[in-house]
Amino acid sequence: MKEMYNVSASPHVRSGVTTAGIMRDVVIALAPACIFGIYWFGLSALLVLLASVASSVVFEYLWRLVAKKPKVPYECSAIVTGLLIGMNMPSSIPLWIPVVASAFAIIVVKEMFGGLGQNFMNPALGARCFVMLCFTGRMTAYVVEKAESSHLWYGAASIDGITSPTPLGALKNLEAGASVSSAVSLKDMFFGFTGGVIGETSTIAILIGAAYLLFRKVISLRIPVAYIATFAVFALLFGGRGFDPEYLACELCGGGLMLGAWFMATDYVTSPITKTGQIVFGILLGIMTGIIRIASNSSEGVSYSIIFCNLLVPVIERYTMPRAFGVLRKKKEGGAAK
């Protein structure tokens, strides 16, 4: 009896990975894109990011207080949500709009469905789509260079910046036969010296952050690679420009594709848990983004594509979940088990 093994309760395999640790890694990975956004767009970008993060944390705290939820170790998810909301805002946006977006993301999308791990779609993207529908004009006033204002809360003061269509908008309106370089600069799009929202313009900054997440094994390549590769094939087949590498590169670097593929589509809660399901999820994202960008009147489509595919995750998991060893599977017609 003395030599019997003492078996503890499950789980027997433990890991030092925590939710708070993962969220800290995501914040670190988002830092390069945020820093570049502040450098390119100026103080207004910093204020938008701070307003988004601070309001997300406050709304989460107030909801837990009002709902009388038990105290748990802080997992930093509200910081990530606020940061992503701010990165999806133009630098010239009045500060009350990211506050409204944070309230919608934290209270409506996240907490009303049970809190962290229970939300049915990405909170930051849900909030972006909500304010995009409510305040379309302000959400599409993209500034090309630094925007400074003494009345950022109301958005009514003199803005020291130049508004301009995004590179994707310029590509959308490109005349047949015209060269891509006549409308946009691939170099500027890659490094981020273009108009757009705070955290989406610099592809290289986003890729640096993605490399950090891969190094820390926070995400895998399955969803981003399937997403980007599928969209690339769709753009080549239906983009109307044939095999044009420059056009394809501009489509990949433009808009929210890179930020969405690496940081939002890979969200643990709203993406499939099965390996096959993640690939299917990425393929569907690429097709949906291609349809919206190329076949519709819109030049962007990442946010709506990810939200739509978030709703399909339960179905994807149902048909891609591997059968447990030893479990019998019955025939559809009630026949003998296999």
Q: Which of 262, 242, 246 is nearest to 302 (CA)?
A: 262
C-alpha distances (whole Å) from 225 to each of 222, 243, 283, 306 are: 6, 20, 9, 15
Is residue 101 predicted with pLDDT exceeding 80? Answer: yes
Stretch 280-309: mean pLDDT, rounded? 91
C-alpha distances (whole Å) from 72 to each of 75, 153, 171, 203 are: 8, 33, 48, 36
Write out the DSSP string of 60-74.
HHHHHHHTTPPP---
pLDDT of residue 51: 97
Is residue 250 predicted with pLDDT exceeding 70? Answer: yes
Q: Which domains does the chain have, with CATH numbers?
A: 19-320 (1.10.3430)
Q: Which of 242, 235, 248, 230 is nearest to 186 (CA)?
A: 248
pLDDT of residue 206: 97
Distance from C-alpha of 269 to C-alpha of 105, rounded to nearest angstrom: 14
For the chain, the average pLDDT equals 85
Distance from C-alpha of 140 to C-alpha of 195, rounded to nearest angstrom: 10
Lowest-pLDDT range, 26-40, 107-121, 302-316? 107-121
Distance from C-alpha of 1 to C-alpha of 287, rounded to nearest angstrom: 62
68 phi, psi to nearest 5 deg: 55, 45
210-234 pLDDT per residue, tens: 999 999 999 999 999 999 999 999 9
198 near 86, Cβ under 8 Å? yes
Count, in order, helices (H) and strands (E) of the chain: 14, 0
Stretch 171-198: mean pLDDT, rounded? 84
Is residue 1 predicted with pLDDT exceeding 80? Answer: no
pLDDT of residue 209: 97
59-74 pLDDT per residue, tens: 999 998 998 887 777 7
Using CB atoms within 10 Å of the CB of residue 95, give its burial: 0 to 12 exposed, 13 to 18 middle, 19+ buried. buried
Which position has the higher pLDDT, 129 or 165?
129
Which position has the higher pLDDT, 301 or 278?
278
Q: pLDDT class for 14, splitting at 50, 70, 90?
A: low
Is residue 249 predicted with pLDDT exceeding 90? Answer: yes
Distance from C-alpha of 123 to C-alpha of 59, rounded to nearest angstrom: 13
DSSP structure class, residue 196: B
Q: pLDDT class for 25, splitting at 50, 70, 90?
A: very high
* Torsion of Cα atoms, 169 then 186 then 283 then 314, to 10°: -60
Distance from C-alpha of 164 to C-alpha of 170, rounded to nearest angstrom: 10
pLDDT of residue 89: 95
Global pTM reads: 0.86
44 near 148, Cβ under 8 Å? yes
Distance from C-alpha of 129 to C-alpha of 121, rounded to nearest angstrom: 12
Distance from C-alpha of 253 to C-alpha of 190, rounded to nearest angstrom: 6
131-176 pLDDT per residue, tens: 999 998 888 877 765 544 444 554 544 444 555 567 887 787 776 6
Stretch 35-40: mean pLDDT, rounded? 95
Distance from C-alpha of 338 to C-alpha of 331, rounded to nearest angstrom: 7
Distance from C-alpha of 231 to C-alpha of 105, rounded to nearest angstrom: 27
230 near 291, Cβ under 8 Å? no
Stretch 83-112: mean pLDDT, rounded? 94
Q: pLDDT class for 239, splitting at 50, 70, 90?
A: confident
To the nearest 10 degrees (0 to 180), the angle between helices 43-66 and 96-103 is 30
Q: Count other C-beta atoms under 10 Å from residue 258's C-beta.
A: 24
With H, G, I as helix, E, B as strand and everything else as coil, classify residue 52: helix
